[in-house]
Amino acid sequence: MASPGFDATFYDLQLRIELSPENLVGTVRVRGVAREAMSSLVLDFDPAMRVEGVLDRNGQPLASSRPDGALSITLASTAMVGDTIDVTVYYEGRPQVTGLGGFVFDTNQSGKPAIWSLSEPYGARTWWPSRDHPGDKADSVDVSIEVPQPLTAASNGVLTHVEEVIGGYRRFHFEHRYPIATYLVSVAVAEYDVDTQLYRRPPALAQDLGELELPLVHYSFAGNGAFEGSHPQYGFQYITDIFPVLEHWFGPYPFARELYGHAQFTFGGAMEHQTLSSMTTNYQGTMAHELAHQWFGDSVSPGSWRDLWLNEGFATLGELIYWQATEFPDVHDQIFDIYYRRALQAEGTLVLQDTTDVLDMFAHSRVYAKGWMVLRMLRGIVGESVFREILKAYAADPRYQYGTARTEDFAALAETISGQSLGYFFAQWVTEGDGYPFYSARWGKRPNGASWDVEVTLEQTGNARTFQMPIWIEVQTAAGARQFLVFNQLDVETYIFTVQDEPSGIIVDPDRWILRAEDVVVTHMDASPELPSSGKLSLYPVPAIGRITVESTWGQPVAADLVDGLGRTISTRLLPPGKTDWTLNGLAPGLYGIRTAQGVTHTFILSGQ
């Protein structure tokens, strides 16, 4: 493992790619600061790569050795805390293909060379020496790539110049002046058609975020038309439709001083390389996913691979919010169904307990689909506008932007912005709990003066744990449907709603705001429902103004809580038999309830004064 006391600040990768035989020749300068006294610098570097030598910044050779999976460099003198360490490593070899790829010599469908990297999560070390941990970002990176003509090379950041090199090679120089994690440093080489565009931030967004004209560069395999696309949902050119949607939700594109683009590769999927996503397809959903990663994954990187859902859940959210904003709403609905069902198959906690099995880490059902559903559930709890504020604040927070964040950082920020205690939510869905709730419901109706009371008993079965969630319950009547939000936290809980027209049915969680077993068995009881106890509370007037009268038919005093729409207790009283006035001064208009110790919640609306 690389030196934990080393803080990398800059990497300069000078690479030469040879095709026959396939070979990578590298000169990599590694600069950083000692955070503890260090007599040697250990970098992650795969033994398949042969190190020819290491020089210090004065050109003096340094001794090195190859302990397991690493390169250990003996420094000329012990570096003290705060000292700069600056070494250059000379090496070559054919990188071992591992994990999702690493560094790959391949050919595309035209039989032409396609050479590319995909280093997430542990692949950077297979082709260049670094402190290969997402928590140690360099402040900046230079990449130059020498390739035989007529190949074109692409990498992160701005192409500063191209030079001819003897022997029929060209060298492409890139500079990237933003912090970057090692796994996001990229190489993509092929015979490319290069198309450029500008993203002009639309006026409505520019009012909020300022003007922006961002260069866009797309590298498509020569002749395959990936830029134009052959179907309305395909084509790199449509990235200009995706940008405004994601900027609306996430805030300004984080690498706005430079550019964004796509480079085709043959991996099969895609990879959010910083400022230049590597793409197999030109499908807009994938483009939205990779662009979303520029905020979540690239600018805000995971502090640990355990927090991978902070990358993939957010990028998957990017797909869904993009499709919802387009003229293809049916695509949104299809993808919603597919991902929702996948999320039900997620195994284990969303925060990864094991980060050694790369394929398991990237199982779509968990960090992608369930990660997205967790964000959707959060949106359901805090509401759309607060949710958007959370996303934007998280992306822009100076503690995390261009740095890293952990799950607990995001959870704390969501609590701060929403003003809600969300510990129960993150514990049961992200950090501690797995699985999902199974709900069933029984309901009945009875006249209540000119209105109707609907009594709904919600039951959780099929999971050893009891989930605490706000749940929408829709009551259907001939005059239309009405939704009530209740906070469900017991295995068996009863709610009473009042509606004007005779109810004909109920639906639990009609809009799938909760990751739950898809079938909710709803049973109707024809007669007036059995009350769960020998007493009964009646509330009036409904809607309430300023106060509510609670009438109890219990023979003895019963304890009851006044709760808000999220089930949080506002005050508790002992209700004697008969009528009690409960004042509601200072409460905002909305849905409230009187909840008894027997788990029955009588909901009511408090209207404005």
Of 315 and 558, CB closest to Zn ion: 315
Contacts with Zn ion: how many residues (CB under 5 A)? 2
Examine residue 473 and tell whether it contacts Zn ion (CB under 5 A). no
What's the rounded Cα separation, in Å, for the pair 41 and 86?
A: 10
Tell me the window of 209-217, 219-227, 310-318, 466-474 that interacts with Zn ion (CB under 5 A): 310-318
Q: Which of 142, 131, 143, 140 is nearest to 182 (CA)?
A: 131
Of 351 and 606, CB closest to Zn ion: 351
The answer to whether the beta carbons of residues 484 and 473 sit under 8 Å apart is yes
Q: In the window 98-137, what residues touch Zn ion (CB under 5 A)? A: none
Q: In the window 74-93, what residues touch Zn ion (CB under 5 A)? A: none
Of 246 and 475, CB closest to Zn ion: 246
The answer to whether the beta carbons of residues 272 and 293 sit under 8 Å apart is yes
Of 51 and 271, CB closest to Zn ion: 271
* Shortest Å distance, C-beta 303 to Zn ion: 17
* Shortest Å distance, C-beta 573 to Zn ion: 51
Tell me the window of 215-223, 311-319, 463-471, 516-524 that interacts with Zn ion (CB under 5 A): 311-319
* Shortest Å distance, C-beta 112 to Zn ion: 27
Q: Which of 483, 484, 510, 507 is nearest to 567 (CA)?
A: 484
Per-residue x/- mask for Zn ion, residues 198 to 237, rule CB under 5 A? Answer: ----------------------------------------
* Shortest Å distance, C-beta 323 to Zn ion: 16
H or E segment at 395?
helix 384-396
Tell me the window of 5-13, 224-232, 307-315, 384-392 that interacts with Zn ion (CB under 5 A): 307-315
Residue 156 structure tokens: 């992160």
Taking CA atoms, 339 is separated from 176, 195, 390, in Å, by: 35, 33, 23
Q: 138 - beta bridge partners?
A: 180
Examine residue 325 and tell whether it contacts Zn ion (CB under 5 A). no
* Shortest Å distance, C-beta 338 to Zn ion: 16
The answer to whether the beta carbons of residues 120 and 100 sit under 8 Å apart is yes
Q: For strands 578-583 and 152-154, give the pairing.
A: unpaired
Tell me the window of 44-52, 98-106, 304-312, 462-470 that interacts with Zn ion (CB under 5 A): 304-312
Output the residue with the shortest Cβ distance to Zn ion.
315
* Shortest Å distance, C-beta 271 to Zn ion: 8
| 66 alpha-carbon distance from chain centroid | 37
- Is the Cα torsion angle 401, 174, 91, 88 positive or negative in sign? negative
List, as one string, the DSSP characters of 510-564.
TT--S---S--EEEE-SSSPPPSSS--EEEEEEEEESEEEEEE--SS-EEEEEEE
Of 121 and 503, CB closest to Zn ion: 121
Percentages (nearest 5) of helix, strand, coil residues in the chain: 20, 40, 35
The answer to whether the beta carbons of residues 216 and 183 sit under 8 Å apart is no
Query: How would you classify residue 232: left for phi > 0, otherwise alpha for psi between -120 and 50, otherwise beta?
Result: alpha
Of 100 and 381, CB closest to Zn ion: 100
Tell me the window of 314-322, 502-510, 551-559, 580-588 that interacts with Zn ion (CB under 5 A): 314-322
* Shortest Å distance, C-beta 393 to Zn ion: 22
* Shortest Å distance, C-beta 324 to Zn ion: 19
What's the rounded Cα separation, in Å, for the pair 459 and 464?
A: 13
Tell me the window of 155-163, 225-233, 312-320, 597-605 that interacts with Zn ion (CB under 5 A): 312-320
* Shortest Å distance, C-beta 100 to Zn ion: 11
Query: How many contiguous H segments (helices) and E segments (strands) does the chain have?
Result: 10, 35
List, as one string, the DSSP characters of 298-342.
TTEEESSGGGTHHHHHHHHHHHHHHHHHSS-HHHHHHHHHHHHHH
The answer to whether the beta carbons of residues 144 and 14 sit under 8 Å apart is yes
Of 286 and 596, CB closest to Zn ion: 286
Q: Which of 385, 405, 388 is nearest to 397 (CA)?
A: 405
* Shortest Å distance, C-beta 98 to Zn ion: 19
Of 187 and 315, CB closest to Zn ion: 315
Of 44 and 312, CB closest to Zn ion: 312
Of 157 and 297, CB closest to Zn ion: 297
Q: For strands 113-118 and 102-107, give the pairing.
A: antiparallel
Amino acid type, 544: A
The answer to whether the beta carbons of residues 300 and 404 sit under 8 Å apart is yes
Q: In the window 245-264, what residues touch Zn ion (CB under 5 A)? A: none
Of 315 and 363, CB closest to Zn ion: 315
In sequence order, what are the residues at sequence separation of 6 or more whose Cβ sits closer than 8 angstroms to the Cβ of residue 249?
Answer: 318, 321, 388, 391, 392
* Shortest Å distance, C-beta 270 to Zn ion: 7
Amino acid type, 507: I
* Shortest Å distance, C-beta 122 to Zn ion: 16
Of 293 and 445, CB closest to Zn ion: 293
Tell me the window of 7-15, 306-314, 370-378, 396-404 that interacts with Zn ion (CB under 5 A): 306-314
Examine residue 315 and tell whether it contacts Zn ion (CB under 5 A). yes
Tell me the window of 93-101, 313-321, 569-577, 581-589 that interacts with Zn ion (CB under 5 A): 313-321
* Shortest Å distance, C-beta 278 to Zn ion: 11
Of 132 and 312, CB closest to Zn ion: 312
**Which residues are at the interface with Zn ion (CB under 5 A)?**
312, 315
